[in-house]
Structure 1
Amino acid sequence: MDLQKPIAPPPVQPSASDDRALEGCLVVAIRLPVRIVVLVLVVPVRMVWDVLVVAGRFLRDTVLRPFGRALLWLGKALFVLPLIGLWRYVLAPAGKALVWLGHVLLVVPALWLYRYLLTPLGQGVAWLARTAGAGLGWVYARVLTPVGHALAWLAKGIGTVLATAGAGVYTAVTWLLRYLFVVPARLLHTWVLAPVGRAVAWCALGVGRLVGLLVSGVGTALYWTARILVVLPAAALWRWVLAPVGRFLAVVAREVGDALGHAWRIAGRISLAVGRFLGTLLRWIFVEPVRWVYRTVLTPVGHAVRDAVLRPAARAARGVGRATRQTLAAARETARQARADVRRLLFGKPPQPAAVGRREPSRGEARTLGSRTTALTKD
């Protein structure tokens, strides 16, 4: 006997081609006109959309992004940098100063107060408390404990006497209560209240069953009435009217959605082709002539102007600047010499600094490669 169960093959999912093959003629008849109408309506919308996208990108790259960067720089310059400076040079030093001031004015005095006042005071209070506790312990052990033992022995004797008397009184009261109240109440419950309660319960049960039968009958009648008048017509309406209409509308909506998707993609290709055609046309009408004029006319003219006018003018300007700088340097040197001559005529020649004896030999007395003597053996 085979103990292993055979592995069931995985369910085959229906593909799109199978769904297309299973579609009826109504779906095919709806699809073609819907797609044609939707394509005619969607192509202008797609072209307008592409134009708006291109305009938006151009506006973003040329206007909005530089404007945003300028606003960012302006906000940084007006808000961020002042706030950073305020925090770094005002609030942080003020906070440090407040922390130091609080430490000096609060923490240090509090530590001093705790260390030199509260701690000795607390130790004194603790010593007093320990001394008072020891005194109270001696009083409890030597005085209160013997007195308490004596009072407990006396109370125990009195309690024994009272318990003996109370037991007799309790027994008499219990016997009186039993025969005056409990026994008559038990007889009343057994022979009067219990039979009356059983009769009342049997009557209530019968009434309840009768009411249940009436409610069940009324409910059954209402159920079949509502089923025949409401449920069956509603089910027929759903099965034969609403469900077919819903299926038809679902098919129409699906085909319209598919047609919109196909039309949007086809309109995108058409818009791309039209855009490329217009771009090529604008390039050959405006860009290429401008490029040809710039390359064949303006560039040679600019080179000729640069070589014939701008470069000689630049060289002449550099020569004039060089001559001007030299003239100004000569004038400054002449003025400096004139000021020195006037100072010498008015105040005389400035005193020369006195020579200071040095331990090192001078340059003339130092030994050289061609000399056989040194500064020490020259004399």
Structure 2
Amino acid sequence: MSGYTTNATRRDPGEGCLTRAVLLPVRIVALIVVVPIRLVWDALVACAKAVYRWILTPLGRALAWLWKIFVVIPLRAVGAVLAWLGRYLIVVPAQWLYRVLLTPIGHGLAWLGRYLLVVPIVAFYRYVLTPVGHAIAWVARGIWAVVTFVVRYTLVVPLTALWRYVLGPVVRGIAAVFGAAWRVAGHVSRFVWRCVSTLFRWVFVIPFGWIWRTLVRPVARGFRDYLWRPVANAVRQVYGEVRRALFGAPRQAPPPVPPPAPSVTGAATGRHQDRRSPAGTRPTGDTYSR
């Protein structure tokens, strides 16, 4: 009791008067609620133990004894009686029937089957079918030998000799002649085509090439540079003026994005190109010819 009072009155380092004043009613209510519940629980446990020990256990033993006396022992007795009856009414007569009746009948049937079926069939196969089969096989081998002999010396040997000594040399000679003629024709064909190609080159290709380089190409270039391009530029300008007069000036395109700063070599090259082709004009034929 003194220990409980000491523990109850012990003060925690962070526990104040307000905390103790709040916790004290809670502890009293918990003690009032928990103690009756625990008493009821202990009483129920004691009653359950008493019922199990003094009522359920004797009742279970009594029921087990009754089950053994009125169910197990009678069933064992009935099983023993049925086993004895089955042995002396079914098993023993069946064994005697098998030993005294079925076994001699089976032996007799086996002896009859052996000497009425197996032995005659074996003898028939050994002394009738086997000699007849050997004779048929010998006759078939003789006929096959005669046929192969006749076919060999009436067809195969003459045809082989004909091919080896007559047709083979003739066919090989014809093939050799045709092969030599084909090779000679190939040489002649290559020589003829070489001559024709050389003649075509000297008669057509070289003169036409000289005419093209000397006459046609300078005339075509002069026509392109001094007639076609000026006329095309003039037509293009007239078309632009007519279109501008009819439909107005074309819509201005958005300003282009400025390119990155060029290097010194790129700037010099750009200035050189600007001097060679002013803005708003197209390069002339001399520029293309260069």
TM over 0.5: no
Higher relative contact order at CA 8 Å, sep ≥6: structure 1 or structure 2? Answer: 1
TM-score, reference length from structure 2: 0.42
Bigger radius of gyration, 1 or 2? Answer: 2
